Amino acid sequence: MSDQTQAGESPEKTSSPAPSRRALLGWGGAGLALGAVAAGGAVAAVRTENDAVPAADSGAAVPFHGAHQAGIATAVQDRLHFAAFDVTTKDRAELIALLKEWTRAAERMTAGHAVGDGAYGGLAEAPPDDTGEALGLKPSRLTLTIGFGPSLFAKGRFGLEDKRPEALVDLPKFPGDNLDAARSGGDLCVQACADDPQVAVHAIRNLARIGMGRTAIRWSQLGFGKTSSTTPDAQTPRNMMGFKDGTRNISGTDTAALDKHVWVGPKDDAGWMTGGSYLVARRIRMHIETWDRAPLQEQEDVFGRDKGEGAPVGKAKERDEPFLKAMLPTAHVRLAHPDSNGGATILRRGYSFTDGTDGLGRLDAGLFFLAYQRDVRKAFIPLQRRLAAHDALNEYIQHVGSAHFAVPPGVRDKGDWWGRALFS
């Protein structure tokens, strides 16, 4: 759809469920939270306490403000652009100013608005505030979720060493890890999820631009084909190995499970993190070609599920309760199951990635694993230790990038900003 047809000049185009960025800009000007009003009632203006409204309409806007950040329990969107940043400034005030600017830009972009004064119509001699590639596109359920890496809390940087949560550990080295420093770590991260890849890329690009001089992108990852679902009634997506992945994920509407396993509670170790979560990001490369040569029986044994239906070994339906002892002791599902890990549960939001080929003609593809939890020491770390030591899947995968972030609680309103509780 062209800019022109979205510009509000053609009233018959109102059949689209959400207005264009450009139309919103035209009606609202700067600073008006029009997303919900204009979107035909598809979403509520402020998310409820538990962030539990799945935005079913792929064009709609997901409210930015709330007790928790959007993009965690939110129904998983189709596309991802994840970016890790180094903070290049040494000045705490500059970092705070950046976080405030980012918050305001994120408010606008998630509502489907252009950044600042927009992508056109300004001074001819100056570059526009917004880069413009999302003009005419719907909000596409864009969510932007920020996280703070362990390195941000280092002594002598921003005076945050006393605020570093105990739970924000440096991840241990797991057997089999082959981590590339250029794809690991970061002082900050922003996870952009949207149903339109261009909307997600636009968001990261504009935040990176605003950040120049204060932050620099360390690495980033594009993802597609969500590999886990936070909406249990929906069809479970398949990963690059062709298997349904994430059948037993935490539902975005399961308030009790989220409070128990995902959201940091007021009595956990860092008060400023209450309502936040901890994110582990792992770039997991798959040895696609050797996997594709593996016999079907081996593939199914490795996972512990059948390839067609996704049913656990010996069961008929995907969602039938797995009988773990029927699986091989090295089966992925058996090892990863909460019952094998003292109840440890994570909320997965991973995406597949394919970054072309690797120079040897091998598909550079795999899983960009994203997991949210209340405390990695009780969730990801023991789980990954078990998997790294025993998982039959290890023959076909390798962890090549890794990062850990403290994801603060949500931005409450227009006066609030990402990280306020940490810096105040």
- Site for another protein, rule CB under 8 A: 86, 88, 122-123, 125-127, 209, 212-214, 216
Query: What letter does residue 277 receive in the DSSP assignment?
Result: E
At its nearest, how many Å lie between another protein and the CB of residue 362?
A: 23
* Closer by beta carbon to another protein, 17 or else 122: 122
Tokens 């264009």 map to which residue? 20
* Closer by beta carbon to another protein, 126 or else 316: 126
DSSP string, 212-261: BTTEEEEEEEEEEEES--S-TTSPPPB-TTS-B--TTPPPTT-HHHHHHH
* Closer by beta carbon to another protein, 213 or else 242: 213
* Closer by beta carbon to another protein, 35 or else 132: 132
The SS3 call for residue 388 is helix
* Closer by beta carbon to another protein, 212 or else 296: 212
CA distance 101 to 107: 10
At its nearest, how many Å lie between another protein and the CB of residue 400?
A: 17
* Closer by beta carbon to another protein, 88 or else 398: 88
| Buried/exposed code over 19-36 (b: 16+ C-beta within 10 A; e: otherwise) | bbbbbbbeebeeeebbbb
At its nearest, how many Å lie between another protein and the CB of residue 63?
A: 30
The number of residues making up the chain comes to 424
CA distance 222 to 207: 16
* Closer by beta carbon to another protein, 18 or else 204: 204
CA distance 302 to 369: 18
CA distance 142 to 58: 10
* Closer by beta carbon to another protein, 146 or else 210: 210
The SS3 call for residue 287 is coil
* Closer by beta carbon to another protein, 40 or else 116: 116
CA distance 108 to 142: 11
CB count within 10 Å of CB 268 equals 17
CA distances from 349 to 78, 281, 352, 398 (A): 11, 10, 10, 19
Please, what is the end-to-end C-alpha distance for the chain in angstroms?
A: 45
User: Does residue 210 contact residue 86 with C-beta atoms inside 8 Å?
Assistant: no
**In 227-350, where do the E strands start and end?**
277-286, 347-348
